[in-house]
Structure formats: structure tokens, C-alpha cells
């Protein structure tokens, strides 16, 4: 009786079908618990959360220095009336550091990467929280002001990729984009 | 205090005997159940209107709202649905669960008034400041985004008001025991409500820890709290409060499956242990929202996102078995013994409280549970975080699960507590189906669009130049599902409010029966109490569920393996 107090002893261990189901459910919980550590050591896609505190002004300075010393061209946005009309294209050295800064409302600068090379991609924000969302791959990471979020990333496909913002950051949020070109 | 004993059996106790169930109802509890439930339904309607506007905006072909109003209404929708509707209705459930089943009257009317007053004042404050355009910060109000101080103050008031109501609940449990209002152990419905109340306290304390410094910052009195710290603590409020809903919803499943079919928990000890698992491990799930965040490491993410070892998930899988098993056992004892699923066809599908409960269980388990655990897997979150897959998940847990279960409950609360029979009973029988199918379409639209990378909380998907016709199609499904679900919600609100004014009064008699399966000739209640292998249909259904779970789970690992290597 679900609505009245229980007056007879009610403490029984599981039995029959209930015991079978409990066994299956616990086993499944074990499988899922083991999958994450397994993938951490053997899988290639992990979010380790490597991060360092950084003042927005310092991150801005690092990004500007990175752009000045590695710039290879200019990206002009073909979308009419876009908030982001053009960006410097910057190519970090293979195995080196790349800086990408989120601000209302663009990802700065555009990056050119080489397929198969590994980069340390530094993400941070100058103002609000932003969401780094690489499309059409659909890889997503959180970007916070005050934190230098480092992704050690290896492009394995070539072409033009768009960075979309997927953390709400004001009226221009939907149009906050950036570019990564992989050759 | 004219009467020192809180037992409803005491002479002169301010209560009545229900003409349908024969249980005692406390007048004070009845009044506050009414007040809180009606307020909840009003906020549900407000949030529902907002939901329709949002669905019609994300449906890219319609694209109804301008950009500023989209984010304003989105903030409004989140607050009204996830906080106001649910909290008000949950306080009503708590007041019921601590009085009638325990034959006890409410501890204090004054405290109940104080709780209700604070909650309502806070709610009006928050809604006003959002609609005034001074708090376009989303429900999460992630710093450094900053709203008007009234926004935070309103939320703090709602939280303190709720805590006050929860205190009244605990105090009633105490005096019920002290005054010997009941003997034995509290029933499972009260036990589930107790688990929800305990989690609510922990949740609301997180809310206080994060909202008070944010409020003082918004007043210019203190420095800005750290955004990463804010996210961690805020989700101790944001995620955990949803587990209060899960607990309350499961308690409602036990209640309604009992009322509509005569089900009882097949094993009280296991069901109660499952509630205890919720209390112990749900807190860790704050991590679900920080899986691709900087600053928190892999070990922390893996341990916490799994609720230790998926022990809270285990709890849900236990309830997912015991609730239908209780129903199956009750049906078989009534003589519906044909084959494995003969009892399913004989269930009272035209009883809106039953269909609402059944749909809630299926939608919550098959869609909400499976997607939730998968998206909350540390690495898989990389291909899901902040995409529409996330609201695709929680619209089938909180809306298709909790809201639908609460709607189902209203089909008994209104006749039994407000003592009026429903108007347009034929329409009521269709309502849960309409709402359930609508919200399922919404969730499918969101989930598939999200799999194509469409972000949540975004006004437009054309400015980025990356989303193709398939993404637009799924947003259309979202939009059409939104219209259906809103229609279901509107019918529900109109039926409830209409019944309060025009429903036939039922004082002194039983409520009109929604339809319950009769016991067949020759059947015997309790005949299967010792047959542990009688729930053949349920074990088949739950194993099918596990198979779906495994397929979805590993398909997502495969999808993850296809993206760029990243550490």
C-alpha cells in the first residue's frame, strides 16, 4: 500500500525478476564506470581541463604577439552583413602554441593548421563566457575569462571549419564566428 | 493552539474525511496545497506561452521574435518552468505527503503563509525584472553577465520561501511521529517526498552560497565572484534541483500507479534504498555541466559525472523496474494474465492520470535517462556540450517526465482536494497524449539538430553559414512539436482553472471515476505476493530498455572516435 503507513515487516532482499534486473543494472553501471577511465588512457578524444589563470589583458597581449609574428594572410567573410567582416589568418609552427581569443562577437584570429600536426591551442575570453564550437565536426569546449584553456589538438581532416559561439554572450551571440583552415 | 495533538484522529481536529478514499484531510494543508498548486499552474501557463514563442523562433522558417526578445523570453521560460512551476507544485506535494498519508495535520499555518508569501513575492520580482528587460542573462546568469539586483534577490526569496515550506514539512513529520498520528513506517510516497525534501535543502544551500555573493556584487558592494567557481556552485543548485524533481516525480509514479491500478511496490526495501542512493550521490552531478570546462581535471570530471559509480543512475533503473512491475503484479492479481503483455492492453489508458504516469515513465526512462547518462559521459560531452542536444535531453526529463507526472497528479488532486469534478472529461483523457507526443517531438527535433552542431540558446542558425537543410528540418520538427505540446499545456491549464470555477461540487460523495481496471471473476488480491517470477512483461520491457541504452551509448562513443584527437 503506497499511501498508508506500513505496519507489517517490509525488509526483504530482492528476489526473482527483481534480482535479475538489479544484477543487469549493476553490471551496466560497472561497464559505464570503466569506459571513461579506459578512454582516458586508450581513447584519443579527452577533455583534461588543462588551464592556467591569465588576466584578459595579458591574454590579449599574447594573442596580438602571436598574430604579429605568424600572420600569413587575411580572411574576408563572404556572408553579407556579418558582424565579423575580416580576420588575420595566422599559422602557428607545427607542434607550437596557437592563441584564440573569444570576445563579443568574434573568435580572433583565424587559424591555418596542417593536417596530422599537433598544436597547443590556447582559448580564453576577454569579456563574457563563450562556447568554442568547431563545426561541422561538432567539438565543443567552454571558454572563460581569466582562464587560459589549453587544448592539445591534432587536425585529422582538411578543409574550412567554422567556430561558432555556443555560450550566450549577448545580442550578437548567434553571429559570433571564427575560422580554422586545415591544409 | 487549541488542540495540542497534531493527529487528525484527535477530537476536534480541523480536518475532514475524504468521500472517495476514506483518508483524513487537514484543512490547513488543503488550503496551502490549493494555493501552491494553483500558483504553480499559473507559472506553468506563463512559461508555456514563452515556450511557444521560443519554439516558433527557433523554427527558422517562422523566426518569430526579434533578437532581444528571444533571449528575454528564453530567460523567462527557464525561470518560470524550471524554478517557479516546479517549486510551487512540489511544495503542494510535500504538504500532501506529510499530512494525509500520515493522518496528521500541518505543523504551522503561519509558516506556510510565510513560505507562500516569500515565494510569490520573489517570483513576481523575478518575472517583472526579466520582462522589464533588465535581466537578459538566461536562467543560469553566468558571470560576468550581470542582471539587475532584483533578479538575484527574487531568486533568493523564492529559495528561502521554499526552504521555509520544506521546514514545515519536516516539522510535520516530526509532530506526526511525536503525537502518534500513525503507527508503523511511513508509506513510500511520503518517503520519496522526504528524499526530495532532503535534496532540496542541499540544493537551496548551494543556491544561497552562489546567489548571495552575486547579489552583493550586483549591488556594487563586493568584488565579482570567479566565473568558474560560479559555474561549479550554481550547478549544485541547477542540476540538483532537477533531482528534486526526479524524486518527487518517482513518488508521484508510486502514488498514481497505486490509485489508478492498485499497484504496490514489489519490494519496499529496494525502492527505499533507491531513494537513499539519490540523496547520497545526486550532488555529484553538478559536474555534468563542467565536463569540457577549463580548470577541473579529468579525474574530478570522471568520478563526479558518474555519480561515484552510477549509483544514482542505478536508483532510477530500480524505480524504472519496480513501478511497472508493481503495475503488472496488480493487473495479474486482478486476473489479466494473458501471455506476457496481456495486462498492458487492459490498462486504463483512457484514465488521464494513468496515461500521464505511463507516458511520463516511458519518456523519462527511454528518452531522458538514456540521453542524460550518455551526454553526461565525460568524453562524449565533447560532441554535445551546449548544443541543442542538451535541452533535447532535459525536455524529456523535466517536461515529458516531471511536468507530465505532475499534470497526471492534478487529475486526482483537483477532485480530491478542491472537491470538484473535472469539466470536459473527454478532453482531459486526450490531454496527456497530446502533451506527451508534442514534447517528444520537441526533444527529437532538438536532439537531432544538436547532433548536427546547432547550438542551444541561439536566436539564429543562418548567420554562421554552416547549418544545412537537415538542421533546418529538425528545427521545424521542434517548432511543430512545440505547438502540439503548448496546445496540451493550454488545455491542461484551462481544464484546471475551469474546473475550479465550474466543476460539479463533490462534498460528501466520491469523485467521478476516471476508470480503473476491475478485478476479474475468480481473481484474488495478494495471490502473487510470493511469486517472484510473475513480472514477465516488465523484465522483457526493462531488458529491451537496457539494449536501447547500450546501442545509444556505444553509438556515441563511435561518433566521438570520429572527431579530431584532443587532450
- Rounded Cα gap, residues B143 and B189, in angstroms: 39
pLDDT higher than 60, residue B2 = no
The residue with cell 602571436 is: A66
The CATH fold of domain A51-182: Immunoglobulin-like (2.60.40)
More confident residue, B355 or A84: B355
Cβ-defined contact of B561 to A43 (cutoff 8 Å): yes
Query: Which of B145, B266, B373 has its CB closest to that of A128?
Result: B145
CA distance B118 to chain A (A): 30
C-alpha of B355 from chain center: 16
- CB-based contact B376:B305 (threshold 8 Å): yes
pLDDT higher than 50, residue B24 = yes
Within 10 A of B190 (CB to CB), how many other CB atoms are there? 27
Question: Taking the model in full, what pTM does it have?
Answer: 0.95
| Residue to test with chain B: of A8, A17, A175, most B Cβ within 10 A | A17
pLDDT in tens, B264-306: 998 999 999 999 999 999 888 889 999 999 989 999 999 988 8
Query: Which of A45, A140, A145 has its CB closest to that of B387?
Result: A140
All domains of chain B, ordered by start, with CATH?
348-508+534-567 (1.20.210.10)
- CB-based contact B495:B422 (threshold 8 Å): yes
- CB-based contact B406:B484 (threshold 8 Å): no
Q: What is the 3-state secondary structure (H, E, C) of B208-277?
A: HHHHHHHHHHHCCCCCCCCHHHHHHHHHHHHHHHHHHHHHHHHHHHHHHHHHHHCCCCCCHHHHHHHHHH
The residue with cell 493522518 is: B103
- Pairing mode, strands A130-135 and A139-143: antiparallel
B414 pLDDT band, cuts 50/70/90, is very high
Mean pLDDT of chain B: 94
Average confidence (pLDDT) over B348-357: 97
- Rounded Cα gap, residues B535 and A179, in angstroms: 57
Query: Can you give the pLDDT at residue A12?
Result: 86
B1 pLDDT band, cuts 50/70/90, is very low
Q: How much of chain B, in percent, has pLDDT values that exceed 70?
A: 99
- CB-based contact A108:A132 (threshold 8 Å): no
A1 pLDDT band, cuts 50/70/90, is low
Question: What element of type H or E holds A179?
Answer: strand A177-182
Q: How many CB pairs under 8 A join A and B?
A: 314
Average confidence (pLDDT) over B443-464: 95
- CB-based contact B422:B411 (threshold 8 Å): yes
Q: Which residues of A touch B463 (CB under 8 A)?
A: 79, 82-83, 174-175, 177
pLDDT in tens, B487-528: 999 999 999 999 999 999 998 889 999 999 999 998 888 888
pLDDT higher than 90, residue B530 = no
A160 pLDDT band, cuts 50/70/90, is very high
Question: What element of type H or E holds B535?
Answer: none
More confident residue, A1 or B84: B84
- Rounded Cα gap, residues B428 and B514, in angstroms: 10
- Rounded Cα gap, residues A62 and A72, in angstroms: 17
- CB-based contact B10:B73 (threshold 8 Å): no
- Closest residue in A to B467 (Cα) is A136
Query: Which of A82, A147, A148 has its CB closest to that of B228?
Result: A147
- Rounded Cα gap, residues B81 and B83, in angstroms: 6
- Pairing mode, strands A106-108 and A71-76: unpaired
pLDDT in tens, B302-318: 998 888 889 999 999 99
Cβ-defined contact of A154 to B459 (cutoff 8 Å): no
The residue with cell 538542421 is: B471
- Rounded Cα gap, residues A53 and A64, in angstroms: 18
Alpha-carbon torsion (A41, B288, B207, B223), positive or negative: positive
- CB-based contact B258:B311 (threshold 8 Å): no
Query: Which of B269, B318, B383 has its CB closest to that of A10?
Result: B269
| Residue of B39, B21, B120, B27 whose CA lies nearest to B500 | B39
| Residue of B293, B379, B566 whose CA lies nearest to A180 | B566
Question: Partners of A141 in the beta sheet?
Answer: A132
pLDDT in tens, B176-207: 999 999 999 999 999 999 999 999 999 999 99
Cell of B264: 504496490
Q: CB within 8 A of B489, min separation 6: which ones?
A: B44, B45, B48, B51, B435
Q: Could you tell me where the beta strands, DSSP code E, fall in A8-146? A: 51-53, 71-76, 86-90, 97-103, 106-108, 110-113, 119-125, 130-135, 139-143
Give how far Cα A84 sits from Cα of A80, A92, A105, A178, B49, Å: 10, 22, 7, 8, 34
Cβ-defined contact of B566 to A44 (cutoff 8 Å): yes
Helix (H, G, I), strand (E, B) or coil at B521: coil
pLDDT higher than 80, residue A80 = no
Domain range summary for chain A, segments of one domain joined by +: 51-182
Cβ-defined contact of A6 to B533 (cutoff 8 Å): no
- Prior bond of A109 cis (ω within 30°): yes
The secondary structure of B403-434 as a DSSP string is IHHHHHHHHHHIIIII-BPPSSHHHHHHHHHH
Residue A81 buriedness (CB in 10 A; 0-12 / 13-18 / 19+): exposed
Q: How much of chain A, in percent, has pLDDT values that exceed 70?
A: 99
Q: How much of chain A, in percent, has pLDDT values that exceed 90?
A: 87
Cβ-defined contact of B101 to A3 (cutoff 8 Å): yes
Query: Can you give the pLDDT at residue B3?
Result: 56
Helix (H, G, I), strand (E, B) or coil at A86: strand
- Rounded Cα gap, residues B439 and B395, in angstroms: 7
Amino acid at each position: 500500500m503506497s499511501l498508508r503507513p506500513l505496519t507489517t515487516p517490509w525488509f526483504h532482499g530482492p528476489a526473482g525478476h527483481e534480482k535479475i534486473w538489479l544484477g543487469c543494472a549493476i553490471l551496466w553501471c560497472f561497464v559505464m564506470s570503466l569506459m571513461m577511465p579506459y578512454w582516458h588512457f586508450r581513447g584519443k578524444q579527452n577533455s583534461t581541463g588543462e588551464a592556467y589563470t591569465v588576466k584578459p589583458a595579458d591574454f590579449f597581449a599574447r594573442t596580438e604577439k602571436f598574430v604579429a609574428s605568424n600572420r600569413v594572410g587575411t580572411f574576408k567573410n563572404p556572408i553579407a552583413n556579418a558582424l565579423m567582416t575580416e580576420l588575420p589568418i595566422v599559422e602557428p609552427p607545427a607542434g607550437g602554441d596557437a592563441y584564440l581569443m573569444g570576445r563579443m562577437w568574434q573568435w580572433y584570429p583565424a587559424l591555418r593548421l596542417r593536417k596530422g600536426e599537433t598544436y597547443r591551442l590556447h582559448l580564453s575570453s576577454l569579456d563574457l563566457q563563450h562556447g568554442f564550437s568547431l563545426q561541422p565536426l561538432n567539438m565543443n569546449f567552454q571558454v572563460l575569462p581569466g582562464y587560459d584553456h589549453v587544448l592539445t589538438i591534432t587536425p585529422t581532416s582538411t578543409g574550412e571549419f567554422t567556430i561558432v559561439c555556443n555560450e550566450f554572450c549577448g545580442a550578437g551571440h548567434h553571429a559570433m564566428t571564427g575560422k580554422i583552415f586545415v591544409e | 493552539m487549541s488542540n495540542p495533538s497534531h493527529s487528525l484522529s484527535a477530537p476536534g481536529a480541523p480536518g475532514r474525511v475524504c468521500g472517495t478514499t476514506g483518508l483524513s484531510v487537514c484543512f490547513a494543508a488543503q488550503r496551502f496545497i490549493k494555493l501552491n498548486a494553483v500558483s504553480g499552474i499559473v507559472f506553468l501557463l506563463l512559461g508555456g506561452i514563452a515556450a511557444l514563442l521560443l519554439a516558433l523562433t527557433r523554427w527558422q522558417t517562422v523566426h518569430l521574435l526579434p533578437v532581444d526578445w528571444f533571449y528575454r523570453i528564453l530567460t523567462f521560460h527557464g525561470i518560470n518552468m524550471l524554478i517557479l512551476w516546479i517549486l510551487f507544485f512540489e511544495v503542494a506535494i510535500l504538504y500532501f505527503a506529510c499530512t494525509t498519508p500520515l493522518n496528521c495535520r500541518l505543523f504551522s499555518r503561519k509558516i506556510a503563509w510565510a513560505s507562500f508569501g516569500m515565494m510569490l513575492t520573489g517570483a513576481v520580482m523575478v518575472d517583472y525584472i526579466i520582462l522589464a528587460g533588465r535581466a537578459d542573462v538566461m536562467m543560469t546568469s553566468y558571470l560576468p553577465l550581470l542582471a539587475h539586483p532584483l533578479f538575484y534577490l527574487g531568486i533568493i526569496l523564492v529559495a528561502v520561501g521554499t526552504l521555509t515550506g520544506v521546514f514545515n514539512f519536516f516539522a510535520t513529520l516530526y509532530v506526526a511521529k511525536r503525537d502518534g498520528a500513525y503507527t508503523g513506517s511511513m508509506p513510500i510516497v511520503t518517503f520519496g517526498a522526504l528524499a526530495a525534501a532532503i535534496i532540496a535543502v542541499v540544493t537551496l544551500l548551494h543556491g544561497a552560497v552562489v546567489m548571495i555573493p552575486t547579489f552583493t556584487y550586483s549591488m556594487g558592494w563586493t568584488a565579482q565572484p570567479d566565473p568558474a567557481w560560479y559555474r561549479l556552485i550554481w550547478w549544485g543548485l541547477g542540476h540538483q534541483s532537477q533531482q528534486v524533481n526526479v524524486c518527487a516525480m518517482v513518488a508521484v509514479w508510486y502514488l498514481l500507479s497505486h490509485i489508478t491500478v492498485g499497484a504496490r511496490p514489489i519490494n519496499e526495501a529496494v525502492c527505499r534504498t533507491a531513494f537513499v542512493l539519490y540523496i547520497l550521490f545526486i550532488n555529484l552531478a553538478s559536474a555534468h555541466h563542467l565536463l569540457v570546462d577549463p580548470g577541473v581535471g579529468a579525474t574530478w570530471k570522471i568520478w563526479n559525472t558518474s555519480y561515484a559509480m552510477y549509483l544514482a543512475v542505478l536508483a532510477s533503473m530500480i524505480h524504472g523496474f519496480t513501478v511497472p512491475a508493481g503495475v503488472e503484479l496488480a493487473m495479474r492479481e486482478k486476473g489479466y494474465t494473458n501471455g506476457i503483455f496481456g495486462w498492458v492492453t487492459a490498462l486504463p489508458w483512457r484514465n488521464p492520470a494513468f496515461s500521464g504516469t505511463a507516458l511520463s515513465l516511458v519518456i523519462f526512462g527511454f528518452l531522458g535517462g538514456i540521453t542524460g547518462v550518455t551526454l553526461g559521459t565525460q568524453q562524449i560531452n565533447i560532441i554535445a556540450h551546449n548544443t541543442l542536444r542538451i535541452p533535447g535531453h532535459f525536455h524529456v526529463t523535466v517536461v515529458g517526465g516531471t511536468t507530465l507526472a505532475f499534470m497526471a497528479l492534478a487529475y486526482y488532486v483537483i477532485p480530491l482536494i478542491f472537491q470538484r469534478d473535472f469539466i470536459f472529461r473527454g478532453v482531459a483523457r486526450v490531454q496527456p497524449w497530446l502533451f506527451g507526443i508534442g514534447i517528444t517531438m520537441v526533444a527529437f527535433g532538438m536532439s537531432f539538430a544538436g547532433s548536427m552542431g546547432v547550438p542551444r540558446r541561439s536566436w539564429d542558425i543562418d548567420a554562421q553559414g554552416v547549418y544545412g537543410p537537415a538542421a533546418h528540418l529538425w528545427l521545424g520538427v521542434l517548432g511543430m512539436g512545440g505547438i502540439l505540446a503548448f496546445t496540451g499545456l493550454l488545455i491542461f491549464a484551462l481544464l484546471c482553472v475551469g474546473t475550479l470555477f465550474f466543476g460539479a461540487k463533490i462534498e460528501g460523495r466520491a469523485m467521478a471515476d476516471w476508470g480503473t481496471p476491475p478485478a476479474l471473476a475468480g481473481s484474488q488480491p495478494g495471490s502473487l505476493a510470493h511469486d517472484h517470477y510473475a513480472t514477465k512483461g516488465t523484465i522483457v520491457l526493462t531488458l529491451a530498455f537496457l539494449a536501447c541504452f547500450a546501442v545509444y551509448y556505444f553509438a556515441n562513443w563511435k561518433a566521438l572516435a570520429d572527431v579530431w584527437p584532443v587532450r
